[in-house]
Amino acid sequence: MLARRSWLLFGLALSAAPLWAADGRATWVLENDVDVDYRNGVYLANLSFKVPVRTATVLDVLTDFEHMALFVPNLTQSHIVERVGKSYRVVQDGKARFGPFNVDFHSLRKIDVLSDGRLVSDSLPGSSSRSHSEMKVQALADGWTKLDYQLELEPSAWIPSSLGVGFLRHELIEQFEAMAREMLRRQQGAKR
């Protein structure tokens, strides 16, 4: 989500080997892996990647709403306001940054974890934009997990599409790269 990063929120390298960042860490989400389009006031995004992490750990990270602000950049708060079974109502606040631009955001969403391996998220009244996203989580035979993410986002304020497409791509890469690193950290049993 354009600054509504709780969209839980992927197009990572489908090869088994990640690229390496300048700091020596593996990079799982690349700019070319994220497809963002703008049509009639709505941003549409698709992202797909895989990580060498068990599906249970992936789902733990994707649904760790109470601690998400600790590992997702630009989130200042993330809390579950209601939970019934595998259905959550989550509030998240933060500030998205892209070059010289900063966008404050407030997100109130209903997120359902479905038995078919999907997380479905819809914005609720009180959010600063309308959004719908779906994340499909699929276990692979090699012990990796594949994540496929789709997002529809209608911002509450007009943003030129020439800027908004790049901004959203940047936010998705940053968000999902941070979550992939947290998944790997938990898989390895590292302490925070």
What value does the mean pLDDT of the chain take? Answer: 82
Domain extent listing, the chain: 19-187
Give 132-189 pLDDT, tens digit per residue. Answer: 999 999 999 889 999 999 999 998 776 777 788 988 898 899 999 999 999 999 999 8
The model's pTM is 0.82
DSSP state of 30: -
Q: Which CATH class is domain 19-187?
A: alpha beta
At residue 27, what is the residue type?
Answer: T
d(CA 179, CA 45): 17
How far, CA to CA in Å, does 165 sit from each of 87, 95, 116, 160?
30, 17, 30, 9
Let me know: does 5 contact 74? Beta carbons within 8 Å. Answer: yes
Beta bridge partners of 105: 94
Q: What are 141's two structure tokens?
A: 């035979």
Strand-pair category, 118-123 with 129-139? antiparallel
